Structure 1
Amino acid sequence: MRDGEALHLEPKSMEVLAYLVAHAGEVVSREELHGRVWPDVYVGDDSLTGAIIKIRRSLADDARNPGYVETIPKRGYRLIAPVRQIGPSVTDESRPAPAGVMPRSFRRAGFASLVVLAFVIATAFLLARNPSNNEAARHAQSQDRVVIAVAPFVNVSRDADYDYLAHGIADSILTDLARATDLAVRHYDPERTSGASPAPDYLLEGSVLRSGDTIRVDSRLVEIESGRVLYSLRFDRPFNDLLTIEDEIRDNVLEKLKHGINAAEHSREARGYTDNVAAYDLFLRAQRALLIRTRQTNLAARTLYRHAIAADPNFARAYGGLALTYAAEYRNGWANDPQGALANALRFAGTAIGIAPDLPEQHWVVGYVKTQQRQYDDARAALKTAINLDPAFADAYALSGGIETYRGNPVETVPLLREALRLNPEAGYLYFLLLARAYYFLGDFEQARINLDEAISRNPENVEAHLYLAATLLKLDQADDAAWETEEVNNIEPGFTLESWSASYPMARGRQLDLLLADLRRAGFS
């Protein structure tokens, strides 16, 4: 309450305020606040910044001359207003909050009552939070498993064209390690793991140098808590030994961590790969091209996948990649025969599953295609199979979350996307777009904008992200910025029309889609 007026803060902002009140007078780091308010997930630094802005706005505070929340550069935040405890402590700590910390500029009467009331209300939010509501997240997290993070390998070649090779080797090793029963494996990015839980026990990192027909691969396994290097290996081999190098790195990691995988899991065939180095190299090039997500790179990836299959007709993962190119062609409106593109996607995914039934990625492809056909139940069943095969398969959680929004249940999307980001903090733009989409339909337009900014910074040419940003900006009464986003879409895709875009959009027909289209028409789309 302020001057008899009830002020409202969203739950996350209230949780931040509650934690600062409980630690009044202390400097609380951004990392600590992330871990407390957004446990087990990565939501970007902008989320915390946005929460602080909302707190200051409600308190009529001035960041330059604060009376309540002070920013400590490079350290965090501190509540500098006086705090008085009334009755027993309602925090999770037995000690009372420190008192008598005076602000540099305190002119507002009755602030102690405001803070105490805010603290009590916010604590209710803290106690009401129940992360175990997400069944998928419970399934993915196993506290008794060793956690190893795999960092993207660094391309130290002078030729940037070999970036695909460095990333591909790391991804392949990560996929191999994920099959070890007692090992939890995740991507590693030190800039995006604030508050991650459980924290990784070990880090695998390395570098790749390609020179003509030879390759040098360095790898090392580090115990994160102590910083001790458990092993360091260097391979100077002919390029044709690449697959053997990957296997040796994996086996050394498992040996050091006292884990083993059975003989079937050692087989590259069982993992859907190939023993043909030329086919494997083509596959890695295709994977890299597919991630760029333009019409030209999608066609380039398709050609590379086909060449890989020609080199090894039993290369299951190459069939799965080929399926994805057809699914992307349909989704982005690039196909002359949209239904034919979807049929091809299902056909090639089915071929991949027929060769290697235990590949979670191929069941994900089936789920993706069924989503585009608005067959949500079939899509969810395929994704459930993918998660059963690999409980840490981040893309399956992300797509499951996307489906919930398509079905009209955006509230179910948020925990699934947060789990996906926890499992893969190196995720691209799509995770943030899916999260933003859910926030838009939930009416949390500030969070929608934060996540859309993240998505567009990673993929500036994605039309859907610009569409949702235009609609979101309108909701935030920023019509000029929304009009600018309309121009961006027309520049990216000349001749864009809502009618053609919405025809293939896999959202259920009804109120939710009508709301989006109405906002987009107000933004200037036709």
Structure 2
Amino acid sequence: MDHRLAAVLAADMVGYSRLMEVDERGTLARLRAHRIELIDPAIAKNQGNIIKTTGDGMLVEFQSVADAARCAIEIQERMRRRNSDVASDRRIDFRIGINLGDIIFEDGDIYGDGVNIAARVEQLAEIGGICVTAAVHDQIDGRVDVAFEDLGEKLLKNISRPVRLYRIVIAPPEQRPAPGGAHAATKAAVVKPTVAVLPFTNMSGDPEQEFFADGLTEDILTELSRRRELFVISRTSTFVYKGHAANLREVAQKLGARYLVEGSVRKSGDRLRVSVQLIDTASDAHIWAERYDRKLDDIFSIQDEITSAIVATLPGRLEAAQQDQLARLKPSSMAAYECVLAAKVLHHRSTRQDNVEALKLIDRALQLDPDYAHAHAWRGCILGQGWGYGWCEDKDAVFNEVAFELDRAMALDDNDPDVHRILAAVAIVRNDMNRARYHQDRALELNPNYDLVVVQMGELFTWLGRAEEGLEWIRKAMRLNPHHPARFWSHLGKAHFVGRQYAQAVEDFMHLSTMDAQQHAFIAACYGWLGDRTASSAHVMRVRQLDPELDLEKFLATMHYANDADLQHLREGLVKAGL
């Protein structure tokens, strides 16, 4: 027998017997999905080892008690989000207990007081909660960013001595108990400072280096977007002003940003000079400026310094302890990094030829650095662009290749929001809404100001039949990106249609300068429900002109509604329109 000190996590599903009695197959399917998509990845990510599983629970061993706590917190927080749109009588909830003690390891199993105490502690946890022993509390207090509630000493079944227990508080900060047991006062809403990063100017005198200035701008913008205390205007809106001399106050007014970041890049050989300044447009004051002279190998340090300095300067920032510090894997090859920057610039142009050239650059980056996670993510994105626009001969093969690249990227770095954004889109196409929601939540955690992630959250809620929430997310994406792509109006129109607001949906679609067959079909369905046969017939005619082979069943087969009632609602509107 092998004795050693270890952290043991015991988890148990609440109400397992009741749920199995009501819906055995559905309960097992949902529990399996939670295991595959959420629980097992959280355990693996935190270096846990699953020792034993039962129908409704598991025992997991960790060498680090902090890893055990982080794993438990991640599972419970994600389960709470997943259960937000599930009826209370169908929710799957867990209780989790953690103990640190001397464990006996034998024949792949674990025994001893340390295990027994973890199991007893788990039974005292609240639904969706985490209960830990004093040994665990003493090790993680101050190392894991959570609050604790002292539950005092408890007598546990079959344990001769009393054990002091603590509850990990994972409720939102405003709901956490304050000292003395009083509830903390609700905090006033924080008005986030809005910042826009203007395209950095290429001062190298070499047009071929333009991509480097653009890429540096985009990476700084992305790093700022990950800071939850900021409201960051998207690159699509700010890059409208690339190459144009403009009045900064007018630019800020149009973008809805008080603070502007502007700068220049001069690259010569292996040397790089970056100049950057932060401007308060309300007073035209240059409140911060800096110049960085570095060897090119220090580009990541330069980006981190610029980002940190801007965040530290902006008023209304949150306490440093509350900031999300997300580690980013860095490529081993600077040439690979430059290839990815150039590929991004080409991708944003959204033309077939640029898509081909972007793919060549991404392939070159991966030849130089096969384990470069962000390059794999963007290869999936570029391939997905070609798939979406129909720029490929074998769509099934390309679709499978997108999935492969994203799986590879996620295996290398689970902290890339683009990976989860595109995985969510793939899951929607496959009508796997649980997986789509998981990846959407993850992408939003990683980059809450990314307009493409935010608008896709609205699209997902529309497919789920929750039109009001969908509209809220889509409008937020439009605010994040005042120069948003035209397709945002299409998403808004589809959400209004699901919400039975037909006149507003038509108005949304009319913002589009050109419309495809699907968009004309939605307008036709709106007019069908409004009883305007003349208008609906005109749009049905446009559908047939744009896609002569499209009929009602083929069109409905491209929809991804989770509720059959929403699909039949669309069908009936199209029938009324004459499709």
The answer to whether the Cα contact below 8 Å between 2:252 and 2:259 also exists between their aligned partners in 1 is no
Deviation at 1:426, TM superposition (A): 3.9
Deviation at 1:171, TM superposition (A): 2.2
Counterpart residue number, 1:372: 429
Deviation at 1:444, TM superposition (A): 2.5
Counterpart residue number, 1:414: 471
Cα distance in 1 for residues equivalent to 2:550 and 2:267: 43
The answer to whether the Cα contact below 8 Å between 2:224 and 2:307 also exists between their aligned partners in 1 is yes
Note if 1:151 corresponds to 2:205. no
Pairing 1:144-223 to 2, within 5 Å after superposition: 144=190, 147-153=193-199, 166-180=213-227, 182-187=229-234, 202-206=259-263, 218-223=275-280
Counterpart residue number, 1:283: 340
Cα distance in 2 for residues equivalent to 1:449 and 1:506: 21
The answer to whether the Cα contact below 8 Å between 1:467 and 1:489 also exists between their aligned partners in 2 is no
Counterpart residue number, 2:99: none
Counterpart residue number, 1:307: 364
Deviation at 1:436, TM superposition (A): 1.4
The answer to whether the Cα contact below 8 Å between 1:483 and 1:523 also exists between their aligned partners in 2 is no
1:518/1:324 Cα in 2 relative to 1: closer, same or farther (>3 Å)?
farther
Cα distance in 2 for residues equivalent to 1:361 and 1:223: 31
Cα distance in 1 for residues equivalent to 2:508 and 2:299: 38
The answer to whether the Cα contact below 8 Å between 2:252 and 2:260 also exists between their aligned partners in 1 is no
1:506/1:287 Cα in 2 relative to 1: closer, same or farther (>3 Å)?
farther
Cα distance in 1 for residues equivalent to 2:201 and 2:537: 40
Pairing 1:71-470 to 2, within 5 Å after superposition: 143-144=189-190, 147-153=193-199, 166-180=213-227, 182-187=229-234, 202-206=259-263, 218-233=275-290, 245-254=302-311, 256-257=313-314, 270-274=327-331, 276-293=333-350, 297-332=354-389, 337-454=394-511, 456-457=512-513, 460=514, 464-469=518-523
Counterpart residue number, 1:7: none
Q: Secondary structure at the match of 2:438?
A: helix
String of CA shifts for 1:207-243, please: whole Å, max 9, x gaps. Answer: 5678999987553201243321123346688988765
1:275/1:523 Cα in 2 relative to 1: closer, same or farther (>3 Å)?
farther
1:151/1:481 Cα in 2 relative to 1: closer, same or farther (>3 Å)?
farther
Cα distance in 2 for residues equivalent to 1:218 and 1:480: 56
The answer to whether the Cα contact below 8 Å between 1:148 and 1:184 also exists between their aligned partners in 2 is yes
The answer to whether the Cα contact below 8 Å between 2:517 and 2:542 also exists between their aligned partners in 1 is no
Cα distance in 2 for residues equivalent to 1:496 and 1:164: 41
Q: Secondary structure at the match of 1:358?
A: coil
Cα distance in 1 for residues equivalent to 2:481 and 2:200: 18
The answer to whether the Cα contact below 8 Å between 1:466 and 1:489 also exists between their aligned partners in 2 is no
Deviation at 1:317, TM superposition (A): 1.5
Cα distance in 1 for residues equivalent to 2:268 and 2:537: 49
What letter corresponds to residue 359 of structure 1 in structure 2? Answer: D
Cα distance in 1 for residues equivalent to 2:364 and 2:409: 16
String of CA shifts for 1:181-223, please: whole Å, max 9, x gaps. Answer: 6555443768899899xx7553223456789999875532012
1:261/1:172 Cα in 2 relative to 1: closer, same or farther (>3 Å)?
farther
Cα distance in 1 for residues equivalent to 2:574 and 2:266: 48
Deviation at 1:142, TM superposition (A): 9.1
Cα distance in 1 for residues equivalent to 2:231 and 2:501: 33
The answer to whether the Cα contact below 8 Å between 1:445 and 1:472 also exists between their aligned partners in 2 is yes
1:410/1:256 Cα in 2 relative to 1: closer, same or farther (>3 Å)?
closer
The answer to whether the Cα contact below 8 Å between 2:200 and 2:217 also exists between their aligned partners in 1 is no
TM-score under structure 2 normalisation? 0.53
Cα distance in 2 for residues equivalent to 1:301 and 1:335: 15
Deviates more, 1:217-226 or 1:507-516: 507-516
Percent identity of equivalent pairs: 25
TM-score under structure 1 normalisation? 0.57
1:298/1:517 Cα in 2 relative to 1: closer, same or farther (>3 Å)?
farther
Q: Secondary structure at the match of 2:193?
A: strand
Q: Secondary structure at the match of 1:203?
A: strand
Cα distance in 1 for residues equivalent to 2:552 and 2:201: 42
Cα distance in 2 for residues equivalent to 1:517 and 1:301: 40
Indicate the structure with greater strand content: 2
Deviates more, 1:370-379 or 1:286-295: 286-295
1:415/1:181 Cα in 2 relative to 1: closer, same or farther (>3 Å)?
closer
Q: Secondary structure at the match of 2:366?
A: helix
Deviation at 1:289, TM superposition (A): 3.6
Cα distance in 1 for residues equivalent to 2:575 and 2:250: 38
Q: CA RMSD in A?
A: 4.6
Counterpart residue number, 1:123: none
What letter corresponds to residue 322 of structure 1 in structure 2? Answer: R
String of CA shifts for 1:412-450, please: whole Å, max 9, x gaps. Answer: 311121223333434323332211111123233343234
The answer to whether the Cα contact below 8 Å between 2:252 and 2:258 also exists between their aligned partners in 1 is no
What letter corresponds to residue 400 of structure 2 in structure 1? Answer: A
Deviation at 1:169, TM superposition (A): 2.7
Deviation at 1:176, TM superposition (A): 1.7
The answer to whether the Cα contact below 8 Å between 1:327 and 1:369 also exists between their aligned partners in 2 is no
Mark the runs of 5 or more structure 1 residues left unpaired by the alignment: 1-134, 136-140
Cα distance in 2 for residues equivalent to 1:370 and 1:420: 21
1:224/1:193 Cα in 2 relative to 1: closer, same or farther (>3 Å)?
closer
What letter corresponds to residue 174 of structure 1 in structure 2? Answer: L
The answer to whether the Cα contact below 8 Å between 2:523 and 2:536 also exists between their aligned partners in 1 is no
Cα distance in 2 for residues equivalent to 1:384 and 1:313: 28
Cα distance in 2 for residues equivalent to 1:485 and 1:239: 57
Note if 1:513 corresponds to 2:513. no
The answer to whether the Cα contact below 8 Å between 1:222 and 1:230 also exists between their aligned partners in 2 is yes
Equivalent pairs, count: 377
What letter corresponds to residue 149 of structure 1 in structure 2? Answer: V
String of CA shifts for 1:123-165, please: whole Å, max 9, x gaps. Answer: xxxxxxxxxxxx9xxxxx9944762412331657899987755
Deviation at 1:349, TM superposition (A): 1.5
Cα distance in 1 for residues equivalent to 2:448 and 2:346: 27
The answer to whether the Cα contact below 8 Å between 1:272 and 1:359 also exists between their aligned partners in 2 is no
Question: Which has the higher relative contact order, 1 or 2, with Cα contacts under 8 A spaced 6 or more apart?
Answer: 1
Bigger Rg over Cα: 2
Deviates more, 1:152-161 or 1:429-438: 152-161
Q: Secondary structure at the match of 2:482?
A: coil
Q: Secondary structure at the match of 2:469?
A: helix
